[in-house]
Structure 1
Amino acid sequence: MTSGKKTKATRSSVAAARSSVVANKPKPWGTIVAVIAVLALAGGVFGYAYSQISAKNAREAALAKWVPSDSNKDPSSQISGVVKKDYPAGKHVQPTQRVAYDQSPPFGGPHDGFWPGCNGVVYPKAVRTENMVHGLEHGAVWVAYNPDKVKGADLDSLSKKVSGQPYMMMSPYPGLDKAVSLQSWGHQLKLDSATDERIDEFVKSLRQNQYTYPEIGASCDAGGPGQFDQDNPPPFVADKPGADAVPMDGGTAATSEQPGAAPQQQAPTGQPSAPASGTPSG
């Protein structure tokens, strides 16, 4: 009996000793803190990613109403401030001629036979207006801005909307009466701010909108030197057109346009045909 009691007592002592060791063993606080930090970081990354995806989805959903369709051919009709005018297409002028446009910037009417590079080109200097209007006829949106009013972060933000985007072009427009003016064929929207949400709505509604521009499928790649060199484009002319300027109902009718080649035009009745060589008349 005594032996049994000793054995039991011994076991109890061993168990108590083990419990004491376990109780006195320091907790791995470093590991615990590291695990908590990793979990917190993972949660933060997940939360940020989720918020970004949610914000993107919200933006896309908000812009969905501006997508053209058979039942909504011109979504820009719902954008406050958009001005619309009907212009006949395919009326061209020579590189030495100017047009007495009825709007500034213009968004339709006679224009130079060579179209500008309008596949996401951000021109650092103002470009000849008669060329830029031709890009609108091809389905592009032209973002013009007043260089005295749009600078720094606003200019960077505006450029990012255009740079590298198909059928988009941007250039300064000296003397513009607003900070920003958006043009597509027959449409214009002038804004006081380069961050106005209507910029995205206008672009979504009208860039390559098959229901609103004349030359479906026309190229936005510039012809290059001898036609339109987007690295050295013809400069903007600030002076008002003279008495010899082509009126809004003038210009000559184009017969064809071939990307990379000099477009042809039909001379006005009673005048000799323009020479084909070097004639930018399409």
Structure 2
Amino acid sequence: MASGTNKKASSKNAVKAARASVVTRRGFPWATVIAVVAVVALAAVVVAYYLVQSAPKRALADWAPTDANHDPSLGLAGIVTGSYKGSVHVLPTERVAYDHSPPIGGPHDGYWAACNGIAYPKAVRSENMVHSLEHGAVWIAYNPDQVTGDALNKLKTKVEGKPYTMLSPYPGLDKPVSLQSWGHQLKVDSADDERIDQFVTALRTNQNTTPEVGASCDALGPGAFDPDNPPPFDPATPGPDAKPMDYQGSDGAQTETGAGMPSTTGTP
């Protein structure tokens, strides 16, 4: 009996030894560890890249209008505001004696300037540009003697292909860059100023500050407003026949119907 018991014990020990030998031969699973570390490192890189790339957008989220803050632009240093009556139209041959340069509201041409992400190479008549502000557009104007090259390209990237946004030179501008929305203006010294994006975020199509938010920004074409041949900017001081800011509208000026499309008759 003892002999049988010893044989069984010996057999168990041999199995244990064999198993231990197999484990020893397998060694530490370096390949698995390296693979796990690589996956974790890649995930960290992806997360870090996302955080870096999305940081500007996340920062701008604080400047978007909310139910609690209808006009976040009021928190911008240097913001200028005014109150203007909408839908007061003048004829294409008439000028308005605006109270700001560039203007930010008031009587304007019955035809709006195309404002669907267009960068005008030449200065455009202010009366048309103001109408676009009434529809919710942001107008970035720049002094062509001060903003060129890379600085101008930076402004173009903020406008081109962006809805309800337009860019144009403005000769004689007293600052390198000036931003306009209906009843709002901000002038800055550099195309790199972070307040440019903050202004756009706060005021473009802001339903709380825009009389006709969401009305068309599309080009009207020849005979109305042709973005390929827009009415030119007049740098001269408006004469005594210019319409005042409290003007009530011209007979025969274009009015708008439906989704901001002009009608051909009537007064505002």
Q: TM-score range by the shorter chain?
A: 0.7 to 0.9
Question: 1:64 is matched with which residue: 50, 61, 67?
Answer: 61
In the TM superposition, what is the alpha-carbon distance from 1:216 to its structure 2 partner? 2.6
**Secondary structure of 1:158's aligned partner:** helix
Describe how 1:16-165 pairs up with structure 2 within 5 A: 47=45, 50-165=47-162
User: 1:52-110 CA distances to partner (integer Å, 9 max, x unpaired)?
Assistant: 42122221221111111111100101111110100011111100001111110000000
Q: Distance in 2 between matches of 1:153 and 1:50?
A: 31
Q: What is the rounded CA distance, in whole Å, between the counterparts of 1:51 and 1:147 in structure 2? A: 39
Instruction: Give the SS at the match of 2:62.
Output: helix
Deviations 1:217-246 (A, max 9, x none): 210012111100011100011111111111
Q: Which residue of 1 aligns with 2:187?
A: 190
Distance 1:127 1:260 in 2: 21
- Tell me, in whole angstroms, the C-alpha distance in 1 between the residues paired with 2:182 and 2:200: 12
Letter of the 2:234 counterpart: V
Amino acid of the residue matched to residue 256 of structure 1? E
For the structure 1 residues 245 and 61, does the alpha-carbon distance in structure 2 shift closer, same or farther, using more than 3 Å as the test? same
Q: Which amino acid aligns with 1:72?
A: N
Report the RMSD for the aligned CA atoms in angstroms.
2.3
Residue type matched to 1:243 in 2? P
The answer on 1:169 being equivalent to 2:166 is yes
Q: Which residue of 2 aligns with 1:207?
A: 204
Aligned residue number for residue 236 of structure 2: 239
For 1:113 and 1:245, the matched residues in 2 are separated by 16
Q: Is the 8 A contact 2:89 2:255 kept in 1?
A: no
CA distance in 1, matches of 2:142, 2:128: 17
Q: Is the 8 A contact 2:255 2:263 kept in 1?
A: no
- Structure 1 partner of 2:13: none
Tell me how far apart the structure 2 counterparts of residues 260 and 143 of structure 1 sit (CA, whole Å).
24
Contact 2:111 2:262 in 1 (8 A): no
State the Cα deviation string for residues 201-227 of structure 1 (Å, max 9, x = none).
000000000000001321001211110
State TM-score, norm by structure 1.
Answer: 0.75
For the residue of structure 2 that corresponds to 1:156, the secondary structure is: helix
Secondary structure at 1:252 match in 2 = coil
Amino acid at match of 1:100: A
Counterpart CA distance in 2 for 1:155 and 1:95 is: 29
The residue matched to 1:65 in structure 2 has which SS? helix
Equivalent residue for 2:26? none
2:225 aligns with one of 211, 223, 228:
228
User: What CA distance in whole angstroms lies between the structure 2 residues aligned with 1:145 and 1:255?
Assistant: 30
Q: Which amino acid is the alignment partner of residue 165 of structure 1?
A: K
Would you say how many aligned residue pairs link Structure 1 and Structure 2?
Answer: 228
Give the distance between the partners of 1:142 and 1:178, measured in 2 at CA. Answer: 15
SS of equivalent to 2:166? strand
Rounded to whole Å, the distance in 2 between the matches of 1:44 and 1:240 is 62
- SS of 1:181's partner is strand
In the TM superposition, what is the alpha-carbon distance from 1:169 to its structure 2 partner?
0.4
Contact 1:227 1:262 in 2 (8 A): no
Instruction: Name the counterpart of 1:257.
Output: 257
Unpaired stretches in structure 1, ≥5 consecutive residues: 1-38, 267-281
The residue type equivalent to 2:256 in the other structure is S
Q: Deviations over 1:8-33 (max 9, x none)?
A: xxxxxxxxxxxxxxxxxxxxxxxxxx
Gaps of 5+ in 2: 1-36
Note the C-alpha offset of 1:50.
4.6
